[in-house]
Amino acid sequence: MEQIPFWASKSFWKKMAIWVTAGSFLLLIILTFDTMSKVTAGTKRVPDYSVINKQIDYRYDESKHHSMPVIGGDAPLFGKILSEQEAEQLVTLGKKTIQAKNCMNCHTLLGNGAYFAPDLTKAWLDPAWGPESVRPMLMKMFLMDPEGNARTYGSGRKMPNLGITEQEAEGIIAFLKWMSSINTNGFPYNFKTAGGQ
């Protein structure tokens, strides 16, 4: 009976459980610190909020086998160059509105959410919204009256009216433009932008 080898004993596995858990968690914490330093706004992967003053594109990078965001010259949103602080305020309003209107339970952001409506990761760059000269206006009209300006593509699915104000709509658009500048390791793949064709 009592000749269980050490590697099958309760005390051995108790220690293993503790060490494996503690080790994995410690590694996760170290990686979390590193990741945080690399995804803070204003880094190479996640640009400053004032990137909404710039031209943004998403182009295929041969060496990486996927597309990368490309930041170009000035292209102010709503015709006005914003300071970093003003830009952050506007993007913040957009993010809070996106949460308040529960967008994520129809759309996906960075691919996470629900699958009833298109992904918003690169929505700012989507050819569906025309050239940059009219894009913000079209998006604003749509957000403020999605039923009247419905784009169903024959699917019959319409975005409901969520009572989005003009200010909130501008915030959302600023947020979408900023989000499109994030380096997402090539997600979504093979995306063809309005400008990049």
Partner 1 sequence: MVEPVALEHFFLFFFAAALVIFAALGYALTYSFARLYQKRSLLYWAGLAYGVLTVSVFWLAYLANLHGFWSILVGMLLVGYGLAPVLIWHLCVATHD
Partner 2 sequence: MTRPLDSSNLNDGQKLAVKYFVVAVILFFAQLVFGMLAGIQFVHPDFLYGVLDFNVNRMVHINAMIVWMLYGFIGSVYWFLEEESGREIAGLKLGNLGFWVLTAAVTVVVAVYLLVQVGPGNDFTRWFINEGREYIEAPRWADIGIVVVMLIFFYNVAVTFSRGKWSGIAGVLTLDLVALAGLYLAGMFYVTNISIDQYWWWWVIHLWVEATWEVLVGCIMAWTLMHLLGVRRKIVETWLYIEVALMFGSGILGLGHHYFWIGSPEYWLAIGGFFSALEPIPLVAMVVHSIYDSGVHKLRNRNHPALAWVIAHAFGNFLGAGVWGFMHTLPQINLYTHGTQWTASHGHLAFFGAYATINIAFFYLAVQRWRGDVWMGANLVGGWRWKWALGLLSLGVIGMTMALLIAGYEQSFIERAMGGSTWSAYFAGQNHPWFVESMVWRMIFGWVTIAGFGLLVWDLLVIGKHEVRPAETLLEEPALVHG
Q: Which of residues 112-141 bind partner 2 (CB under 8 A)?
A: 112-116, 118-119, 121-123, 126-128
Which token pair is 112? 């996470």
- For residues 6 and 47, what is the distance between their CA atoms, to the nearest angstrom? 53
Bridge partners, 70 (sequence order): 57
Distances (CA, A) of 15 to 3, 11, 151: 19, 6, 59
Residue with Cβ nearer partner 1 (12 or 33): 12
- Binding partner of residue 25 among partner 1, partner 2, none, CB cut-off 5 to 8 Å per kind: partner 2
Burial class (CB in 10 A: 0-12, 13-18, 19+), 57: middle
CA 174, 179, 180, 183: dihedral to nearest 10 degrees? 150
Does 44 sit near partner 1 (CB under 8 A)?
no
Residue with Cβ nearer partner 1 (7 or 80): 7
What residues between 23 and 52 interact with partner 2 by CB under 8 A? 24-25, 27-28, 31-32, 34-36, 38-41, 45-46, 49
Size of the site for partner 2 (CB under 8 A): 88
Do 82 and 50 touch, CB atoms closer than 8 A?
Answer: yes
Does 137 sit near partner 1 (CB under 8 A)?
no
Does 189 sit near partner 1 (CB under 8 A)?
yes
What residues between 82 and 111 interact with partner 2 by CB under 8 A? 88, 91-106, 108-111
Residue with Cβ nearer partner 2 (31 or 141): 31
Residue with Cβ nearer partner 1 (16 or 30): 16
Nearest to 196 by CA among 123, 126, 111: 126
Binding site for partner 1 (CB under 8 A): 1, 3-5, 7-8, 64-66, 185-186, 189
